[in-house]
Amino acid sequence: MSDLKSFASDNNSGAHPAIMEAVLRCNEGHLKSYGDDEISIRTDEVFKEFFGSQARIHYVTTGTAANVLGLRAVTHTYNSVICAEQAHINNDECGAPEAFGGIKLVPVPSKDGKLTPGAIAPYLGHVGFVHASQPRVISITQPTEVGKLYTLKEIEDIVEFAHDRDLLVHMDGARIANACAALGCSFFDMTTALDIDLLSFGGTKNGCLMGEAVVFLNPDIGEGFPYLRKQAMQLVSKMRFVSAQLERYLADDLWLENARHANAMARRLADKAGAVDGVEIKGSVDCNALFAHIPPEATEILLEKYYFYVWDEHDNTVRWMTSWATTEAMVDEFVDDLKKAVEAVR
């Protein structure tokens, strides 16, 4: 198989060998299906160690499912969900929240995909007015779609703002491990301790095959979710193959090491690429995504060998992502080729 030289997405990497091994191992014998197996039950307990004993955990196979089903479970169709205009739920799920959740999204203009109470306030709409969707959830992404981090204090402020108005806070944590690694905090610090109500927990991008979860942290929400998950076509029959991934992912700090590594590779790439004449790294590099200005002709040369996205054609910005599987050698080779490409087009 021809290997793709990819800095396009952490989705392009495979699964971590330790996780593959766990999947292999869980394959022995007959087990109950649909999550009643002992591995899934055990994995639930592992999650509770991380998120608190009140947490309820439901495995799904895609991040879109985690977002849409979590939000749907806590809303009526006449509710709205407030999110940054850059949010994955707003741009990258092909209208799933609207079509499969009946949810109205209220996109709020923002810098770097980060919401603030001040930015949200004008978008709450007419509370109690029968003609207006009634806000029910504020959804934040950590790290954001453009790789930026909320500080814990910034999240705390949003939660306080939300709870004061009887709104819930949802965190899209497709890359929550990268955020925790970068901020040096635990999953608990990032969510339960801040009174986040529900979380889309992502494992796939950081070393799983396909392993995501809806985690209800607020014990008063999420009733009936097992029926909803089944109905939403997300109740995998041989559930052990999902939960075994996540059990291993959460063991022995694998999630943390993978995330730290991905972040470090982004840092290395930023430092080395940023030192190349004609290349400018845009903004801070908080986790494992970075954005750079490079001459468009150099981009063309690089794309012959590498796979990554042109983020904005108008200002010649490209996005590069690293993952648990990105090596120092890959970064260094890429920077060499970048340097050559930029020089070639001068």
For a copy of itself, the binding residues in 46-105 under the rule CB under 8 A are 60-65, 68-69, 76-80, 91-96, 98-100, 102-105
Per-residue string for binding with a copy of itself, 289-318, x by CB under 8 A? ------------------x-----------
> Considering the complex, what minimum distance in angstroms separates the CB of residue 33 from a copy of itself?
4
Least Cα distance to 291 among 107, 83, 145, 85 occurs for: 145
DSSP-assigned states of every residue in 226-276: HHHHHHTT---TTTHHHHHHHHHHHGGGHHHHHHHHHHHHHHHHHHHHHTS
178 binds a copy of itself (CB under 8 A): no
Sheet holding 317-321, edge to edge: 280-281, 289-293, 317-321, 309-312
Start-end of H helices in the chain: 17-25, 38-51, 63-73, 88-91, 96-101, 117-120, 152-164, 176-183, 187-190, 225-231, 240-250, 254-274, 296-305, 328-344
Site string for a copy of itself, 22-41 (x = CB under 8 A): -xx-xxxxxxxxx---xx--
168 lines the binding site for a copy of itself (CB under 8 A)? no
C-beta of 5 vs 52, nearer to a copy of itself: 5
Among 11, 54, 151, 284, binds a copy of itself (CB under 8 A): 11
Alpha-carbon distance 178 to 138, whole Å? 22
Q: Find the shortest distance in angstroms from Cβ 340 to a copy of itself.
A: 21
Pick from 111, 131, 134: nearest CA to 123: 134
Task: Find tokens 């930026």 and name the residue.
Answer: 148
Shortest separation between residue 305's beta carbon and a copy of itself, angstroms: 13
Q: Is 227 in the site for a copy of itself (CB under 8 A)?
A: yes
Tell which positions 230-259 bind a copy of itself, by CB under 8 A. Answer: 230-238, 240-241
Query: What six digits make up the tokens of 245?
Result: 């991934």
Cβ neighbours of residue 334 closer than 8 Å, sequence gap 6 or more: 5, 7, 269, 273, 306
Stretch that binds a copy of itself, among 112-120, 151-159, 178-186, 221-229 (CB under 8 A): 221-229
The mark string for 315-344 relative to a copy of itself (x by CB under 8 A, - otherwise) is ----------x-------------------
Specify the stretch interacting with a copy of itself by CB under 8 A; choose among 17-25, 143-151, 165-173, 252-260.
Answer: 17-25
DSSP letter for 343, please: H
Query: Which of the ranges 7-15, 175-183, 266-274, 279-287 carries the binding residues for a copy of itself, by CB under 8 A?
Result: 7-15
Q: How far is the CB of 276 from a copy of itself (least distance, A)?
A: 23
Instruction: Record the tokens describing residue 286, joined without a space.
Output: 């908080």
**Minimum CB distance to a copy of itself smaller for 69 or for 276:** 69
Q: Compute CA distances 33 → 39, 209, 229, 237, 323, whole Å.
A: 11, 19, 15, 5, 32
Nearest to a copy of itself of 43, 64 (CB atom): 64
Applying CB under 8 A, the site for a copy of itself has a residue count of 82
